[in-house]
Amino acid sequence: MPPEWVGILAFVAILILLALRVPVGLAMIAVSAIGTAFITGLDVALVRLGSDAFGGANSYSLSVIPLFILMGLFLAGAQLADDLYTGLQAFLGRIKGGLAGATIGASALFGAVSGSATASASTMSTVAVPQMRQRGYSDSLATGCAAVGGTLGILIPPSAILVFYGILTEEPIGRVLIAGVIPGIMTTCLLILTAYLLVRFRPHLGPAQHVEQSSVSRLQAIGRIWPVPVIFGLSIGGIYGGVFTPTEAGAVGAFLSLLFGIVTRRLNWQRFWEALEKSVRLTAMIFLIAIGGLMFGYFLTITRIPRNISIFVADLNIHPALVIAVIFLIYFALGTLMDELAILVIMTPIIYPVVIQLGYDGVWFGVLSVMMLLVGLLTPPVGLLCFVVSGITKVPLGTVYRGVTPFWITLIVAIALVVAFPSIVTFLPDRM
């Protein structure tokens, strides 16, 4: 059997295993080992199984992930999300749809220090949705804001997904992280604008009145929000300024988050140990996926599928933007079936060589890939964040899907802007 057919069968096998709820890392390791054995022999497959497992887990680049995870969990344990939401209400609560905008903005700020879509969505579902419902916002808009706000957690650095992309493609992790800053801010502003327009033109979704805030309230709000710009500025700003490596930035962020929790006396021993335990569990899962991704990348190389696809696309002589559109459709289709990390690990080894062959910047495509994954996080029948928000708020899943639909369209617009103006992504990395 030709190697290409082995690769196609392996891809189908992975999708079947994922549908059967087999963990992503284990599915990729098993399929890659069997496929490698089929093409090159059992001895080579066993050697790769041992060397890739050790080499993947021993990668220095991966050390940044547990530190960023720990930083986010410390801040979550210190109940920072409550402060962010309350603080932003003082600035946005005076406009129509202000609480909806505050929910999205607080999700963006929390995502800037947690780097997790699920953590942001679940936290804001607990903090913001009850208050929005009490103020007269519809269930669809309240849950829609919480769900779409969660997507910003994997776009705004520190983002484990962006780090993972850098590891898979060997793009500089610092540049990949910094590249997410401007697109993240732009997407946040577009989503807040969408919330405002929804309440303005569909008044039944939210109250017509707005909440006046005094100057004293705004000063108090700044006192609540300051930990985010300080921690974000020192860690991510240190990467941009060349002061820290990404791993050192993660360590600084984790330490400052721990210090914040101790000084404010919000991080007790129970929450401290819970943060450590969750960090270990998440890190183990991500490392397993990293090993699987490394093995799957080697397996695809020996099947010659990425090389053949690159040659095929080059021979078609079509506009590169059309290829990007096709890639988006593929990511969109997969996003309705599986989670974002699985898509990234499976598709990047196949798509990345094609994108580079077309002359696109690898860092730019990394941010674009993550933005494409944002859409999948909201798209039925999976729509992972919709499930999370629905489960926490007890709002029917169909209502959540209706709530995220306008924001889903806004994310498409943000993606189109990044494709049309690549400098949105490359401006900051090019100046590092």
Cα 27 to chain centroid, rounded: 22
The Cα–Cα gap between 427 and 424 comes to 6
Domain boundaries, given as residue ranges, for the chain: 3-431
- Asked whether the beta carbons of 279 and 73 are under 8 A apart, the reply is yes
Q: Provide the pLDDT for residue 170.
A: 83
Cα-only R_g, the chain: 22
Type and span of the H or E element at 153? none
Phi, psi angle pair for 404, to nearest 5°: -85, -15
pLDDT in tens, the chain (432 residues): 778 888 888 888 888 887 787 888 888 888 888 888 888 888 888 887 787 777 777 777 778 888 888 887 887 777 777 777 777 776 666 677 778 888 888 888 777 666 667 777 887 788 788 888 887 888 888 888 888 888 887 888 877 788 888 888 888 888 998 998 899 999 999 998 998 888 888 878 777 555 555 556 566 666 667 777 788 888 888 888 788 888 888 888 888 888 888 888 888 888 888 888 888 888 888 888 888 888 888 888 888 877 777 777 777 777 788 888 888 888 877 776 677 777 888 888 888 888 888 888 999 999 998 888 888 778 777 677 888 888 888 888 888 888 888 998 999 999 999 998 999 999 999 887
Q: Could you count the other beta carbons within 10 Å of the beta carbon of residue 228? A: 20
Nearest 5°: the CA angle 267, 269, 273 is 100
- Number of helices (H), then strands (E), belonging to the chain: the values are 23, 0
Q: Provide the pLDDT for residue 221.
A: 62
Cβ partners under 8 Å of residue 99, min gap 6? 89, 92, 93, 128, 131, 132, 135, 137, 206
Longest Cα–Cα distance of the chain, Å, equals 74
